[in-house]
Amino acid sequence: MATHKALVLHEYGQKPKLEETAKPEPKEGQLLIKVQATTINPSDRLRMDGVYFPVPLPATMGLEGTGEVVEANG
C-alpha cells in the first residue's frame, strides 16, 4: 500500500500532527493531486478549533495549496 505524509488533526483545539497515511484512491470524477506547497491559513486555524466547517476527525489540514495531478478517475 502506498503512503504519503499529511498534517492530521485528531482532536479539535489541539495541534495537528505530521503523519504517514495511506494514499487516497480517487473516486469517480475525482483527481489525486500531489501537493507541492500548502499553508495553514485563518480558515484552517478556525477548522482546527471546530468553528469553521467542522468535519469528522481525523481530518487532513491545509485547505489551499498547489501541486500536480498524478491520477484521475473519470
CATH code, domain carrying 16? 3.90.180.10
Average pLDDT in the chain: 91
Task: Note the pLDDT of residue 1.
Answer: 63
Sequence-separated (6 or more) residues with CB below 8 Å from residue 45: none
3-class secondary structure per residue, 32-73: EEEEEEECCCHHHHHHHCCCCCCCCCCEECCCCEEEEEEEEE
Cell of 16: 495537528
Residue 65 has pLDDT above 70, yes or no: yes
pTM: 0.78
- Provide the number of structural domains found in the chain: 1
Cell of 28: 469517480
DSSP for residue 17: E
Task: List pLDDT tens digits, range 28-62.
Answer: 999 999 999 998 889 889 999 999 888 899 999 98
Mean pLDDT of 7-26: 94
Task: Note the pLDDT of residue 15.
Answer: 93
Question: What's the domain range around 51?
Answer: 3-73
